[in-house]
Structure 1
Amino acid sequence: MASRDAERSASGAGEIVMNARVRITAATVAALVVVFAPSAPAQQLIGGDVAGDRLISIDRDTLEWTLIGVHGNDTLSGLAYDANHDILYGVSPSDDNVFIVDRHNASLRRIGPPGALGFPNTNGLAYDPNHDVLYATDNNTNVLMTVDVNTGVGRAIGVISGGFTEIEGLGYDPVTDTLYGLTQLQLRIVKIDVDTARAEAVSDPLPAGVWRGLEFDTQRRVLWATTVVINASSLIYTFDPQTRRLERVGSIDGVPAIQGLGFVAGRCTDKERIARARCENGRLKVKLAKGTPGDAFTVEITGGASIEGVLNNKGQAKVKFKDVPNGEGVADSTWACGARDSRGYVCR
């Protein structure tokens, strides 16, 4: 048992003890969660600055940045990270190509011949690790597409509808299977149906600005968004899709044009599992095991109660729900790296 516990009821009573980073949501049941603070996070927020043709690493707490490298492509816009295969993708509208970007030195490798993408004003890029799909958006045609990561060819899903155009940035939440977009003209963050290409606003009107970068942070479960400020410093914001709260975090000093964001989540061990799900007297205990230390997770049980947290330095976590109704149920766990597992339980 951990030395620090975190307990909160459905009505918000209780407390979260320092070093136990967790978010709890519940419809009708109360929950108790025990997690361990990891010794070192495995995550990284990467920004692409088109003014300096460079790739940088951004500290999410202080906004201090370090140079990864200069790639020399002055229109490398959208970025997307594939956690399943540890690949960072970038798109250049002037080249009409998707590139593999070395996230350690910023070198580029074009996928396919010049112009392979077939949509010459593509800026938005996001990766769905659940289905291994790379999505992109083109501003000239307002098309949502998938990109073949072997050939670099874009295949249109459809024209984005719902009254939203020029999707400059994309981000994907693997827990909710949601594709988000950032529209410059309508100043909204939207969610986009990947089957129909229909968009729906999830934010209030955004402040005036040149909005460009978007990425989903699978650990903190927020979207990061940037505005370009030429001859100054890019501004960076977070947006919580659950609460619809937009918060200006600050500026990336000396970096004027961050048009692409990529969030590097810790890689899966491919051994993630729910080791135990036992229920007695209305108390359900769920144990997660064999994950990547510092990886974020969400556990949801039958009835809709869910708990989010961070794995300890052994790649484990213990989650406890209380007041669980009698009967059979299923605990579903999703790790930020993209892994999923389920386990049945019976409460008596």
Structure 2
Amino acid sequence: MAFLNFKSSNDTSSFMFKYSSISFRGYEVKREDESISLKFLNDYVIERARFTFNAIDCQMTFPKDAEGMGLIEDRDSLGEYGDVMLYTRDFKALLRIYKSTPSIIVAYAEIAEYLKLKDPPAVMKLLCPRTIESYLVFQSGPTAPELSKAFGYYSQVFAKLEPRSEPPEGLTYPPPSLELKDEYSQGAWVNPVLAKSLNVIGSNTPVHLILGKMGGRFFALIPLSSENYKCYIRGGEGYIVLKPRSFMKINRGGFVPFGIVGVGEDPYKLIRLLYECARSLTGLPVGFRWEKNFPEIFKKLGWCSWNAFLREINEERVLDTVKKM
């Protein structure tokens, strides 16, 4: 897949050995029968993770079915990294660990091109560090007018900054339910939800970003998508579930994205770095807000006909409203 900047790891070279634990540059990845864990300086970044591969004629679960675990060190446009992988001949689950501050870990899979795969072709389940004290979850789904104040209040409070607005009234956090009608429904707006645990995330809860506070540091997780797959964050069985979907009945192998995890002291810099990392790795044509010019028209008073009339709109109603302005 030429559009990716990932270095291919199809060749299990002399760097690959059947380790049960790998340590380098302060990181430690430990393999057990049912899961792997990742620590940095003895603190968990990923407490547990496991991977399931869904081929048409077979299913494999890593680390249980993996033949080995190994490490390849290299560098790309983002800097030096170590690829820790669980592997068989046809399947590889990888954690690309960048030797940087903040800590950045990219989770993805590589699958033999000749295989026919289901949708999703692979799933990653991970358990966030238990040391996280509270979460700020950005999800799209059920909403209320009072939530418009939440962005300027809870986002700032969570980052220990001065609130830009008053707290929303008449709401309890988290809301009683964040579930939509099915697993892949989407809401029109993204809402911030402050919670003590990730139990608020169910199998039908669309999540765009998870931010966790642990002492003086922050944990962040975003989904990673590509030209062929859109990855979804969902909840279930106490785990965070990362599901890359193509919505095709049969998929071919290649690069399969899961997500990007980061740990750092500044939540704003951390989140920005994660999205910059995602764009660099995939090469997708994404323009960030800070790179765009502010449109001149937005400096003036505006009015939205869709927001005013929804589907009950016609020329007469629009002209009548404009005349009354």
The TM-score normalised by the length of structure 2 is: 0.27
Which protein shows a greater Rg? Answer: 2
Which protein is richer in helix relative to its size? 2
